[in-house]
Amino acid sequence: MKQLLKLIIIAFAFIPIFGFSQTNKNYITVGYSSICCGTPSEKPVMDFVKNFEKKNKLRPFEMFVENGLGKEGEHAFYIGIDNLKSSLLKSFLNGLKTTTSNQNKKRSKNRDGYVNLDENLTSNSTLKDIKAKPRTRISSLEVYNYKK
């Protein structure tokens, strides 16, 4: 009976790790930072992602959000890009660059934070590591539904 109980406890400990299955191997990271008063709006980037998907008749992007990266709502999005052909990937990256750059140009100085596009790809193993060992004691990584 004790062995069965131990086995059940071990199984429940590993379910969250195995339940976090990803289909993509590479992700683009879009981070939101703060200066004093919270992070910028996610709307411009999410609108771009939705429009790009619709325009190119793509399946929904696999996305994750990492919350709790700071006291003022700092967070990051990870957008799976493996379903994009190289020409679409280039167009997607250029569009994200333009969107984030425009948003940063329009920000209120000394008040609004920045939207940061990391052009270095993040691997699914890195995301699994973040899920297993969060970067801060309050951070979490979860699937993000941007279609809301």
Name the residue with tokens 């429009």. 51
The pLDDT of residue 78 is above 60: yes
Q: How confident is the model at residue 35 (pLDDT cuts 50, 70, 90)?
A: confident
39: pLDDT strictly greater than 70: yes
Give the up-direction half-sphere exposure of residue 28: CA atoms within 13 A in the CB hemisphere. 21
Question: Over 70: is that where the pLDDT of 12 sits?
Answer: no
CB-side neighbour CA atoms (13 Å) of 78: 26
The mean per-residue pLDDT over the stretch 102-122 comes to 91
Distance CA 69, CA 39 (A): 11
Residue 53 has pLDDT above 60, yes or no: yes
* Overall average pLDDT of the 22-43 stretch: 90
Domain 24-143 has CATH 3.30.70: yes
What percent of the chain has a predicted confidence (pLDDT) above 70? 84
Closest-CA residue to 49 (of 37, 35, 63, 65): 63
For residue 16, the model assigns a pLDDT of 45
Phi, psi of 129 (to 5 degrees): -65, -40
- In this predicted model, which residue has the larger pLDDT, 123 or 4? 123
Higher pLDDT, 135 or 103: 103
Query: What pLDDT score does 97 carry?
Result: 97
* pLDDT, average across residues 8-18: 46
Q: Residue 116: its pLDDT value, please?
A: 97
User: Length of the chain in residues, anyone?
Assistant: 148
Higher pLDDT, 37 or 106: 106
